[in-house]
Structures are given as structure tokens and as C-alpha cells.
Amino acid sequence: MRFLTALAIVHVAMLCPFGPAYASQPSSILSTLVAGHPRLMLKEAELGWLRASYSEDPAMQKCVLDVRRDANDCLNRPPLVHRLEGPRLLSVSRDCLRRIYSLAMAYRWTGEERYAAKAKENLLQVCAFKDWNPSHFLDTAEMSHAVGVGYDWLYDSLGPQAREQIRVALIEKGLKPGLEVYAKDGWWVRSEHNWNQVCNGGMIVGALAIAETDPEYAERIIPAAVKSLPRAIKSYGPDGAWGEGPGYWSYATHYTAYGLTALDTALGSTFGLLEIDGLSKAGSFPFYTAGPTGLYLNFADVGERSSRRPMPCMFWLARTFHNPLYAWSEHEQIAERSGAAAHLVWYSAKPPARAIRRPLDYCFRGPVEVVTMRSAWDDPNALFAGIKAGYNQVNHGHLDLGNFELDALGVRWARDLGSENYNLPGYWASGRGGQRWSYYRLGSSSHNVVTLDGGHQDPLAKSSIEKVEINGPQAAVVVELTDAYDDFARSARRGLTMIGGRRAVLVQDEFDIKTPCELAWGMTTDAEIDIKEPTVAMLKLGGREMTARLLSAQTGAFTVESAEQEPPQHRNAGVKRLMVRLPRANGGTCVAVLLSPQWKDGKIVETAEVKPLANW
């Protein structure tokens, strides 16, 4: 990254509530503005460097081919129209963004006018919209991003008349509504989640695109965005985790990358934002939270089957923080799937395998606390387990503290159902008694957690990793959960460990119940469940088998229940719950369940020592 020299920088503590380490401000925000276009993300010199390496880099060749293939598809797409889905124009903004990046990159790479002409047509379509839906500002921010990049990358080919139409629309429908939010210190300006990065990133790109003709917008937006961004970026600290889950990690991190790259390429500085604790480690989160099935540890409002996919921001993280693992990981993805224009923007050559270090287990601390463990890398049949702690009120969060998921033999046995329909009534009412928790997928009853008295965890509860032992012969973690069950329990803890040479997983819960109540242990699964005896259940899924053994639960026994729901909620067709119910739990109560895959060598872990979690 290129930084302004010390003589050109003055520290402005009032710019940022987190102190001068996070935001250093030039005396004139545009004093170093790069003249001419393109200046956002990928300038002509960088594009020339890519072309110079193209003939010797098969991965880059595939990316270019993939981008051209997508651009060819965009040539035949129908016109963009102003159509809301619920309160959102977001799908249209994202469609526009995809088209502009692919078409403009294809034009810049090939010089073929058909790509520029189609991109111009799409830009003029959205610029003719009555608005970019500022009431749901993500829509406005993403459209401002798309239009700003199109204006910058296609500047010479647009012609004076189209440039003027696009410039005016960007100001009236994007930047002016953004300035109104900044002036009121609007809620997303103060937020600590993805809205912060997306909205600030879109405003940065849009303002810098037209900064030479309309400097007053950049001069107001850039300082405001630089002041706002640390509130969200600090959420990566200290280990790179993201409280909204791996899916929203991608959304937030891409816009962090877009915004900071635009600042760097247009102004030569990222104003100290790269130095915020945790950002340099952010690429570890999607890497270690993906199981051997390719499915993520699927917490918070992410897709029902959220899985590893290409994420160009991993190249940005690799280049910016000199981490070869992130580049290597992303090359693995684009080798199997499609590359995108942003991969070329941040392209990083694939490092040699000898440069990569991948511990089996990883512990993330922060607003969400996560531990993942596995038996092997590069084995699709490996055993994998993950568990989460943190705060139930994190944006997009569910009532799922202590939730675990498990992969083995190439399938996911213990799963999370993911998000519900965002347009359901009261979906975002998340306080105590909020309607959000009435939806099955969001409350505790659908998750792989314990419930007491048939109720949810406390929506305001926090939990933490109390003890962790990783990257040894076995891996173990204990999560402190008392706050989540305070109405009925004096204390609550969950332990999760891999045993038997990492061939089985033991889940052990310990409660000190202060008010007699039903304790229900549950695991959500797609497997067929056959109760062999009260304490032994055989699970079958995809031609594989796993045995569940109840090792300690007083008089408890396995039962099977359905996870299916009635519309308008998702049906969860065929999904089941493996349950253990203790009708009158009281005092010290332990539930220990051993989950043992049936490995191909015929060996199975049939028992485990149940010892107090204090002795783990």
C-alpha cells in the first residue's frame, strides 16, 4: 500500500472516536487526487502489469476467460428496471454492479466496443430511475458503487452527454442522500456491522469517481466515512472473526476492500484504517469455519446451505497483509468455480504449497467466539466440528449460544437451518419478547443447543470460551453459558471435544438447575434416525452411518422429532431433531452424547470417559 509521507499527513483526533491511530487526515482531502481516469481500484498501469503476466499464469487466464464469459452473458440480459422486493431495490443494485464490473473489465481487457456500449446502456437505465431507494440505503450504496466504477472505468468511451447524465444521477440519487445521513449521524454511520462498510464503501467510490468536477462531495464524504468505518472494522478484532457469520463476513469484507482500495488508488492513503486490530487476520475466518463438506459453520442469518465460494477480497487481504494462505485458499476456489472481475482488480499469484501453514484447529475471539477442529485437511471425508459463543444480540444473530455443527464422511450430520424470510412481520424485532424469536429458525428450539422449560435462551445473553485446548492429539473447548439460562440455572457449560484419535466427537453439557424444569438436548439433522435402544441411535445419511450414544443423562433416552414448520416459514422438509428430554431436571445435571461416524476401516469409538468439564 502507498501511504502519504509524514509531511503530508496531519493527525486529527476529532475525526475518529477511536483515536489518531485509526485516522490520519491530509490537510486537504483531495490534495493528492490522481488526475484522470480510471483511478478507482484498477488503474491502467496495474492493468498493464496483469497483461504482462498473463501468458505465464494459467489461473489468471482462467479468470479473464470467466469474466469474458460473464460479460457475454450480460450482453443478453434484459434491461434493468426499478422493481422493489419487499422494501428493497437491492437485487437490482447488485445486478447492475455485477454487469458493470464484468462488462467494463471485459472492455478494458479486450477493447471490444460492444462491452462498453452495453455497460453504458445499463448505466443510463439505472440513472433514469426515480431514485435508488434511499430508505433502504444498502440499495443506494451499491448502486452508487456500480455507477461510480462505470463512470470511472469507462470515462473516455461514455462521451460527454452520457457522462453528464451519469454524473448528475450519481450526485442526486446517491451522494446527496448519503450526505443527508452523515449530517444526521444516521444509524448505519454509527453501526458496527455490514451496513457500515457497504454504505461507507459505496459513498467513497461514488464520491471519488467525480472528485475532480464535484470536489465538494468527496471533501465531505471521505472524512465522514473515515470517521465511521473504524466502528465496524474494529469488530474483526482480535482474530478476524465476524459476528454476523461467514456469509455476512464476505459482504462486509468486500466493501471494506472496495472502499479502502478506492482511497488508496485515488488518494494514495488509507488513513490508518488498515492498522485496526483484527483486519489483517480476517481472511482466516472463512477459511477455518468451512468444513470438509464445503459448508460453513452456519450461524446467524446466512444461507441455509452456505458454502465456500470464490471471494475476491481474499486476494485483497493476501496482497495487503502479505498472507500467502489467503491467496492460496482463493486460488483453490476459482480453480473449481468461476473467477470474477474483482479477482483481477486484486489479483495475487498462487503461492507454492510449501508457504502454507494450516493448523487443524482454530480459536477466534471477539464479538463472536468460535472454535473449529478437524481430523485432517484435503480429505473430504474428514471429521470436523465447530462451536460458537458470543452475544445473542449481534446483528443477524440467533438464540444459539453453544451451537455446534459436525461434518464426517463427506456429509453434514449436525446442521443449522440458517435464515428465515427477511420480509416476515417483526423479523428485526430482536429484544426480549421480540417477534423475531417466534420464528423457528431464529429461536433456540431449532438449534443444536439445550433448552430449559421449553423456552429460548435469553436474547440479551453473552457467553464466552472458558477453556480451549487445540492442535494437540485431541481438541477440546468449554463454553460458559450461564447468562443464557439464568432464569432456571445457577450455572451452565458446554464442552465439545474430539477423541479417539480425532475419530469421534463428545458433546457434554453441565447445568446446575435452580428451578426444576424440563431440560431438552437437541440436534438438527437431515439423517434418518433409528433408535436402536434408549441410549443408542443410528443415523443414516447419503449412504453413510453415524452412531449417537447417550453416555450420561440420568434417566434420559433418545427420541426423534420433526423440524418441519408451516408456511409462511420455511418448511424444513424432511429435517429431524434427535432429542433427549429430562422432564424434571434439578440440581447438578449432565448430558453427554458421543457422536461416532462409521469409518471405512470398520473401527468405531464406542465409549468415552465422562469427567467434569472442570477437569477437561
Give residue-wise pLDDT tens across range 61-99. 999 999 999 999 999 999 999 999 999 999 999 999 999
Confidence of residue 507 (pLDDT cuts 50, 70, 90): very high
Residue ranges of alpha helices (H) inside 170-214 are 176-183, 187-190, 194-209
Please check whether residue 243 is in contact with residue 235, taking contact to mean a CB–CB distance below 8 angstroms. yes
Proportion of the chain above pLDDT 90, given as a percent: 91
Confidence of residue 4 (pLDDT cuts 50, 70, 90): very low
Between strands 10-11 and 489-499, the pairing is unpaired
The predicted model gives 269-293 an average pLDDT of 97
Residue count of the chain? 616
pLDDT of residue 423: 93
Name residues whose C-beta falls within 8 Å of residue 615's C-beta, 6 or more positions apart in sequence: none
The predicted model gives 576-593 an average pLDDT of 96
Name residues whose C-beta falls within 8 Å of residue 258's C-beta, 6 or more positions apart in sequence: 41, 145, 201, 202, 204, 205
Q: Which three cell numbers stand for residue 64?
A: 479473464
Instruction: From 563, 548, 293, select the one nearest 411 (Cα to Cα).
Output: 293
Confidence of residue 5 (pLDDT cuts 50, 70, 90): very low
**Is 16's pLDDT higher than 60?**
no
pLDDT of residue 15: 40
Half-sphere exposure of 175 (CA within 13 A, CB side): 26
**By three-state DSSP, how is residue 333 classified?**
helix
CA pseudo-torsion sign 329, 333, 336, 340: negative
Instruction: For residues 179 and 193, give the distance between their C-alpha atoms in angstroms, rounded to a whole number.
Output: 20
CA dihedral 540, 544, 549, 550 (to 10 degrees): -50
pLDDT of residue 25: 47
Confidence of residue 306 (pLDDT cuts 50, 70, 90): confident
**Is 148's pLDDT higher than 60?**
yes
| Chain mean pLDDT for the chain | 94
Between strands 544-552 and 362-364, the pairing is unpaired
Please check whether residue 29 is in contact with residue 223, taking contact to mean a CB–CB distance below 8 angstroms. yes
CA dihedral 571, 574, 580, 581 (to 10 degrees): 40
pLDDT of residue 303: 79
pLDDT digits (tens, 9 = 90+) for 387-434: 999 999 999 999 999 999 999 999 999 999 999 999 999 999 998 999
Instruction: For residues 161 and 363, give the distance between their C-alpha atoms in angstroms, rounded to a whole number.
Output: 55
**By three-state DSSP, how is residue 213 classified?**
coil
The Cβ of residue 99 has, within 10 Å, a number of other Cβ atoms equal to 26
The predicted model gives 170-191 an average pLDDT of 98
pLDDT of residue 307: 85
**Is 3's pLDDT higher than 60?**
no
DSSP 266: H
pLDDT of residue 14: 35
pLDDT of residue 370: 98
pLDDT digits (tens, 9 = 90+) for 456-505: 999 999 999 999 999 998 899 999 999 999 999 999 999 999 999 999 99
Residue 50 CA from chain centroid, whole number: 29
Question: Is the preceding omega at residue 597 within 30 degrees of 0, hence cis?
Answer: no
pLDDT of residue 398: 97
pLDDT digits (tens, 9 = 90+) for 31-44: 999 999 999 999 99
Task: Give the position of cell 458496527.
Answer: 192
If you count DSSP H runs as helices and E runs as strands, how many of each does the chain have, helices first? 16, 17
Please check whether residue 91 is in contact with residue 85, taking contact to mean a CB–CB distance below 8 angstroms. yes
Question: Is the preceding omega at residue 38 within 30 degrees of 0, hence cis?
Answer: yes
pLDDT of residue 367: 87
Proportion of the chain above pLDDT 70, given as a percent: 95
Between strands 368-374 and 384-390, the pairing is antiparallel
Q: At what angle do helices 44-54 and 58-75 cross, to 10 degrees?
A: 120
The predicted model gives 115-128 an average pLDDT of 98
pLDDT digits (tens, 9 = 90+) for 443-453: 999 999 999 99
Please check whether residue 591 is in contact with residue 521, taking contact to mean a CB–CB distance below 8 angstroms. yes
Instruction: From 401, 370, 420, 396, select the one nearest 192 (Cα to Cα).
Output: 396
Between 14 and 138, the more confident residue is 138
pLDDT of residue 480: 98
Name residues whose C-beta falls within 8 Å of residue 183's C-beta, 6 or more positions apart in sequence: none
Residue ranges of alpha helices (H) inside 55-193 are 58-75, 90-110, 113-127, 137-153, 155-158, 160-169, 176-183, 187-190
In the chain, the domains with their CATH numbers are 6-355 (1.50.10.100), 362-615 (2.70.98.70)
The predicted model gives 590-612 an average pLDDT of 95
b/e code 39-73 from CB counts within 10 Å (16+ = b): bbbbbeebbeebeeeeeeeebbebbbebbbebbee
pLDDT of residue 385: 98
Name residues whose C-beta falls within 8 Å of residue 29's C-beta, 6 or more positions apart in sequence: 218, 219, 222, 223, 267
Give the 3-state secondary structure of 397-460. Answer: CCCCCCCEEEEECCEEEECCCCCCCCCCCCCCCCCCCCHHHHCCCCCHHHCCCEEECCCCCCCC
Confidence of residue 6 (pLDDT cuts 50, 70, 90): very low
Residue 562 CA from chain centroid, whole number: 29
pLDDT of residue 340: 98
